[in-house]
Structure 1
């Protein structure tokens, strides 16, 4: 029997330091998030970061927390329920970090008789700290607890034409009644070294301004290329002027070189250069979360207006948009059909 496991990032159980701390510990101790030797990661995370970060992060979560719970979890549950209603096969939801685990999701499917699973990391792009860690964790749980299961993973869908159309239409809808001067595509940031570590050729990804536009097998796992490629495809679909669009990366950690340009620097630059009406989209996420609702929608507006900007529009993620639900169901049906076809 076939089934689907949708997986997103996760969330603490409550916006309190007590619940944020173990969540951050699990997240930051992931070797694909902070990719340093274990001994150094322990010192860094448990000896330094977790002494102050839980209180600060809890305060940020409190600003965006809904009555029903974490926005990311609530939105993911709504999306999952809608997919479940249309998919005609069992659908479960898991999170990479937190109490709503991947193991629990696989157990839910097993209890319904599922032996063949379509794993869907809810990330449009491939990155070792998002897509890859979901796949690795799911396979670890399968090998340890569900050896009878067979798992197939949905590829990253950053360049899927149907997804580009859906996201572009969502941007158009979000820009209604907003006469923008500029659109900023703000993607989740990762360290530059992650790009090079994910390069199967070990020589193509130089982050030199040319490698992302030079065809290579490395693009299959290059987050930076995929972000630029998605932006270009949306620009082309919507017919956006080159001088009215830019791309940036948010959420830096520590002092390592991360992908540039930095989103907070872009807010300041655009405001100082005379942009008055700024629209921001966050295409690395399919569901609004702490990064989009607090860092972009709240802090970003303050940063932009402090630099001289006047009007600011954060365009929501796809969330549980019915067209997004329908597209996911179509992908699930495609997988079922391929699985049923003779080899």
Structure 2
């Protein structure tokens, strides 16, 4: 058996042209694990409404953060892949769940390298049906249809792994060194509340009531909300943050159904109105800086804060291709390649 790794991130439009953004949004939002309604309803919502209104606005947002080399998320993911590839003993290939390079082409590249045992590595610390699950489901579908000779192993959510907590905590400490911030906001990507309950393997534990995430349960293995709060708790413990100097919020909601709360934009606004002058924010649901971190948080979030009287708004970059992060991932991969279980 020859081993190889498929790193998978979210993806990006090919360019900031509204046509490319529309194509990307169609693939993304038509995923049944992103907008989890019947196909007929998804068609109405996405192709009848969203794609007739959102691509131009989204294209303008991408234009604000686009780099000369291309999409920040793609460029940063490629840099991470290259660093890991230089540290590991097995082939490392990068794919995106949406857009290019896609998962099928990534698997084909590994096959062409003689690989038949693949570690599927979703680059998401916390599990969610709209992120990790959709990657694994599509990969298995492609395996059955096009790569039956391959076998897959996947890396479980690493939201509480000591290595991840250490690297994330150090990245926060480095960015905030010497900065007299009043509060650290942990902003995670939002998901509809129904996703949390759909992912509940016990079918009864998740109540989203403030207590279930703290009560031990088998549901936590796939509970995005619990994993977000647990990442926050562990980082706060590592950094010895004082109580009431940090909190959790959720960003990027879509539609009118209830999403995880509190919402990041309203939280930033509330802090400013309450007289807070110095706010720091970190986005641990993302390992690569992207539209949601560079535009929604670093630009829109700062604008909101300043409009309501805030003065200093400090954003902690994602882990991106940090050396310590690359070293952690390469070590996890080598442990797997040596037939040791990936202890995540």
TM-score when scaled to structure 1?
0.98
Cα offsets for 1:161-181 (capped at 9, x unmatched): 111011000000010231101
What does residue range 294-333 of structure 1 map to in structure 2 within 5 Å?
294-333=295-334
- Structure 2 distance, partners of 1:320, 1:338, is 26
Q: What SS does the aligned partner of 1:338 have? A: coil
Aligned counterpart, 1:16 = 17
Does residue 182 (structure 1) correspond to residue 167 (structure 2)? The answer is no
Aligned counterpart, 1:202 = 203
- Structure 2 distance, partners of 1:176, 1:58, is 35
- Structure 2 distance, partners of 1:244, 1:154, is 33
Q: What SS does the aligned partner of 1:199 have? A: coil
Does residue 39 (structure 1) correspond to residue 62 (structure 2)? The answer is no
- Structure 1 distance, partners of 2:181, 2:340, is 46
Aligned counterpart, 2:58 = 57
Unaligned stretches of 5+ residues in structure 2 = none
Aligned counterpart, 1:274 = 275
TM-score when scaled to structure 2?
0.98
Q: What SS does the aligned partner of 1:299 have? A: helix
Please tell me whether the aligned partners of residues 13 and 21 of structure 2 are also in contact (alpha carbons under 8 angstroms).
yes
Superposition deviation, residue 8 in structure 1: 0.1
Cα offsets for 1:144-171 (capped at 9, x unmatched): 1111000100011000011101100000
Does residue 155 (structure 1) correspond to residue 139 (structure 2)? The answer is no
Cα offsets for 1:210-235 (capped at 9, x unmatched): 10000000000000000000000000
Aligned counterpart, 1:129 = 130
Does residue 93 (structure 1) correspond to residue 81 (structure 2)? The answer is no
What does residue range 137-286 of structure 1 map to in structure 2 within 5 Å?
137-286=138-287
Superposition deviation, residue 338 in structure 1: 2.7
Cα offsets for 1:67-96 (capped at 9, x unmatched): 000000000000001111111211100000
- Structure 2 distance, partners of 1:338, 1:142, is 21
- Structure 2 distance, partners of 1:64, 1:43, is 30
Please tell me whether the aligned partners of residues 267 and 307 of structure 1 are also in contact (alpha carbons under 8 angstroms).
no
Q: What SS does the aligned partner of 1:86 have? A: coil
Please tell me whether the aligned partners of residues 185 and 248 of structure 1 are also in contact (alpha carbons under 8 angstroms).
yes
Aligned counterpart, 2:7 = 6
Please tell me whether the aligned partners of residues 286 and 318 of structure 2 are also in contact (alpha carbons under 8 angstroms).
yes
Superposition deviation, residue 339 in structure 1: 5.2
Which consecutive segments of 4 or more residues in structure 1 shift more than 4 A?
Answer: none
Please tell me whether the aligned partners of residues 185 and 246 of structure 2 are also in contact (alpha carbons under 8 angstroms).
yes
- Structure 2 distance, partners of 1:153, 1:44, is 32
- Structure 1 distance, partners of 2:82, 2:232, is 30
Q: What SS does the aligned partner of 2:86 have? A: helix
Please tell me whether the aligned partners of residues 6 and 107 of structure 2 are also in contact (alpha carbons under 8 angstroms).
yes
Superposition deviation, residue 275 in structure 1: 1.1
Aligned length: 340
